[in-house]
C-alpha cells in the first residue's frame, strides 16, 4: 500500500477533529436529543411532563433498570453465534 502524503493525512485528521468537536457542542439537534434521552433515562421528565399540583414527584425506574440488567443476556440470545464446534485446534486437546 502506498504511503499517504503528509498534507493529505493532516487534512484528514483536521476534518476528523472538527467532526469530533462539532459532536460535543450543544448547538446541534442531535446533542439536544441525546441530552433529553439521558434525562429520561435518569428519571428526570419534569420539563416535558410537569407534575400536577398535589401529586408525588417520585419517578420509578424499576422497569428500565431491570431491562438494563437483562440486556447482556438478551444480546447473547439474539446476536449469539449458532456455530457448531467440530473439533479442536492443534495444541488445545
> DSSP string spanning 63-90?
HHHHHHHHHHHHHHHHH---PPP-S--T
Rounded average pLDDT over 21-45: 81
For residue 7, the model assigns a pLDDT of 94
Q: Report percent pLDDT > 90 for the chain.
A: 23
pLDDT band (50, 70, 90) for residue 2:
confident
pLDDT band (50, 70, 90) for residue 51:
confident
Rounded average pLDDT over 24-28: 67
Residue 7, C-alpha cell as written in the block: 498534507
Amino acid at each position: 500500500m502506498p504511503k499517504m502524503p503528509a498534507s493529505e493525512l493532516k487534512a484528514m485528521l483536521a476534518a476528523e477533529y472538527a467532526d469530533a468537536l462539532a459532536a460535543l457542542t450543544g448547538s446541534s439537534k442531535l446533542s439536544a436529543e441525546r441530552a433529553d434521552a439521558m434525562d429520561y433515562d435518569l428519571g428526570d421528565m419534569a420539563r416535558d411532563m410537569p407534575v400536577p399540583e398535589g401529586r408525588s414527584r417520585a419517578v420509578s425506574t424499576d422497569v428500565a433498570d431491570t431491562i438494563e440488567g437483562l440486556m447482556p443476556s438478551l444480546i447473547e440470545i439474539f446476536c449469539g453465534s449458532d456455530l457448531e464446534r467440530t473439533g479442536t485446534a492443534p495444541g488445545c486437546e
